[in-house]
Amino acid sequence: MATTQEASVMKPHQTERTGPKRAIRVMGVSHGFGELEVLAGIDLEVAEGEVVGLVGPSGCGKSTFLELVSGLAEARSGSIEVEGAGAGEPTARLASCAYMPQRDLLFPWLSAIDNAALAPRNRGESKRASREAALPLFARFGLAEFANAMPNELSGGMRQRVAFLRTLLAGKPVLLLDEPFAALDAITRGEMQEWLAGALLAEPRTVMLVTHDVEEALYLCDRVAVLSARPTRIVAELQPKAPRSLDRAGAITDPGFTSLREEALRALREHSR
Amino acid sequence: MKKVLLPLAVVALLLAIWELLAQTGALADLLGIRESVSDVIVPAPTDVAQSLWDDRDLLVDNGWITLQEMLGGLLIAFALGVGFAIVLHLSETLRRAFYPILVASQTIPIVAIAAVLVIWLGFGIGPKLAVVALICFFPITVNMLDGLRSVDPQAVRMMRTLDGSRSVILRRLELPYSMPQFFSGAKIAVAIAPIGAVLGEFVGANGGLGYLITQANANLLTARVFASIVVLSAFALILFLLIVAAERTLTPWGRKELS
């Protein structure tokens, strides 16, 4: 009945019969800039703790989509709910989402730990308290010795790790990762993918990962949506059979994985023009 | 060391040429000045050095007055410059309303305004502070506003998802980010501060290096004029070096884009 469905939307903590509770629901979202139509009706649901990848050609509006989900901008039409905060409540969505940009954007005037602890600091906690909040994560992810390093003393991979901790420390249930490893070289990227897989197993969050790298998406995500070129729609949804693992080399050479990758690439090719 | 040696060598060379031309009377000939008065009108660097020593009490007393005017005026200029930059950055409306006026304020012939300021504020330190502040706030405002406005919008968006309020974003991202540009403006400001102070004194004063220059000029004490100029330049140079030192200490990351 419609009323009971409404009730479950209104009360996000109520577990639905069908499985884990829904964290993000995107319905018929279209958006554009002036005459340019960027998103043409996106529907997507993400369950709590699920890692969903969005793969698409350059300029297809992946980043724009993340901005809409996070509440930094409002879509022209359609509705977006994050953790029960719906359309017309962008600030409430902002309160549930942490955004990790493609470039690490570490502030050169802050040490690694102060960069990571920006969110608690922004909320008004003392420098000491926010560092204390960040330190266990640094230790846990093998960054303890770099806590007091300045960003220019860190390698690209290290900087990206600090940037990810900064996103985690925002303490939000939903992480929006915008091509987090696109700027890294191939070897570091592979290492970082394994590191992120481990981090997300240790600190489970609802994640939307935007990337143009099919392999990265299929390795890191529970589900991958393939996007078309502008005006952007979802043209395929793929679900890796194996659960997320720390063994990247093993995962990406699995026959099931390679056939999914072919399928994703085919979908991308078909819809990239 | 090489960085210092080269300009010093150039200065020494120029001084030597000047000394030679002045001693041989060639400079006076060039200017068409009769030999009998050429020593007075065209002093050699050694004459200026002599004056620096002989007139040291005069230079110290009047120099102190001018230094106070410069520092006071710069203080006002820094406060106004930074204040304007922040306000104009935060409000699009105010920026559009007042930015043209700020630019227009720099097109006023400052000598003319200085005369009026003396009428309004008297012969004391007031009009000098006003002139210094008026010419020095502008480079600070313009540079710092550029700095504030060049902050990566991605970083601002990120700060918003990290629970940064408007004032937190200003304090923790935009202000530190614009520090290098603030220092660029500050360097220009301290370099032109002596111009403002001397100009204020030219129009009406009873002390200061600008006053001393006017008096010495009228009495054909040309060496003293040059001695005063040397002191003024030294003030500007020292302030400039202080700003450079502050910049190195406070913004060791330099003018780098966020990566």
pLDDT tens, residue by residue, A82-94:
886 665 567 788 8
What mean pLDDT value characterizes chain A? 84
User: Does the distance separating the beta carbons of A119 and B259 come in below 8 Å?
Assistant: no
CA B29 to chain A, closest CA, distance in angstroms equals 59
At a CB cut-off of 8 Å and minimum separation 6, what does A37 contact? Answer: A30, A230, A231
In the prediction, which pLDDT does A88 show? 59
For testing contact with chain A, the best of B154, B158, B161, B253 (most A CBs within 10 A): B161
In terms of C-beta density within 10 A (0-12 exposed, 13-18 middle, 19 or more buried), how is residue B70 classed?
buried
Does residue A162 sit in helix, strand or coil? helix
Helix (H) or strand (E) holding A151: none
pLDDT average, residue stretch A51-57: 90
**How far apart (Å, rounded) are the C-alpha atoms in residues B241 and B190?**
10
Predicted complex ipTM = 0.82
CA A78 to chain B, closest CA, distance in angstroms equals 22
In the prediction, which pLDDT does A233 show? 87
Low-confidence ranges of chain B (pLDDT < 70): 1, 35-39, 255-257, 259
* The pTM of the whole model exceeds 0.95: no
In the prediction, which pLDDT does B255 show? 66
Joined together, the tokens standing for residue B220 give 């054909």
For testing contact with chain B, the best of A69, A105, A152, A168 (most B CBs within 10 A): A105
User: Does the distance separating the beta carbons of B173 and A107 come in below 8 Å?
Assistant: yes
**DSSP structural state of residue A221:** -
Which three-class secondary structure string do you get for chain B? CHHHHHHHHHHHHHHHHHHHHHHHCHHHHHHCCCHHHHHHHCCCHHHHHHHHHHCHHHHHHHHHHHHHHHHHHHHHHHHHHHHHHHHHHHCHHHHHHHHHHHHHHCCCCHHHHHHHHHHHHCCCCHHHHHHHHHHHHHHHHHHHHHHHHCCCHHHHHHHHHCCCCHHHHHHHHHHHHHHHHHHHHHHHHHHHHHHHHHHHHHHCCCCCHHHHHHHHHHCCCHHHHHHHHHHHHHHHHHHHHHHHHHHHHHCCCCCCCCC
Among the listed residues A189, A177, A221, A204, the one whose alpha carbon sits nearest the alpha carbon of residue A65: A177
Q: Which residues in chain B have Cβ-Cβ distances shorter than 8 Å to A152? A: 253, 256
User: Closest-CA residue in chain B for A114?
Assistant: B172
Give backbone dihedrals phi and psi of B252, rounded to 5 degrees, phi first: -65, -20
Does residue A81 sit in helix, strand or coil? strand
Helix ranges (H only) for A59-155 are 62-70, 90-96, 112-116, 118-122, 127-140
- B133: alpha, beta or left, given left = phi > 0 and alpha = psi -120 to 50? alpha
In the prediction, which pLDDT does B259 show? 67
Joined together, the tokens standing for residue A119 give 């969110």
In the prediction, which pLDDT does A82 show? 87
pLDDT in tens, A19-36: 678 889 888 888 988 888
Q: Is residue A172 less than 8 Å (CB to CB) from chain B? A: yes
User: Closest-CA residue in chain A for B252?
Assistant: A109
User: Closest-CA residue in chain B for A169?
Assistant: B162
At a CB cut-off of 8 Å and minimum separation 6, what does A146 contact? Answer: A112, A138, A154, A158, A162
Write the residue in B172, B256, B259 that is nearest to A122 by C-beta. B172
Terminal-to-terminal C-alpha distance of chain B: 33
pLDDT confidence bin for A257, thresholds 50/70/90: confident
Compute CA distances B75 → A42, A195, B3, B128, B134, whole Å. Answer: 56, 51, 30, 13, 11
User: Closest-CA residue in chain A for B164?
Assistant: A122
The count of CB pairs under 8 A between chains A and B is 68
User: Does the distance separating the beta carbons of B159 and A122 come in below 8 Å?
Assistant: yes
The residue written with tokens 């970083």 in the block is B155
In the prediction, which pLDDT does A7 show? 36
DSSP string, A27-78: EEEEEEETTEEEEEEEEEEEETT-EEEEE--TTSSHHHHHHHHHTSS--SEE
CB A66 within 8 A of CB A235: no
Comparison of pLDDT for A77 and A208, the residue scoring more? A208
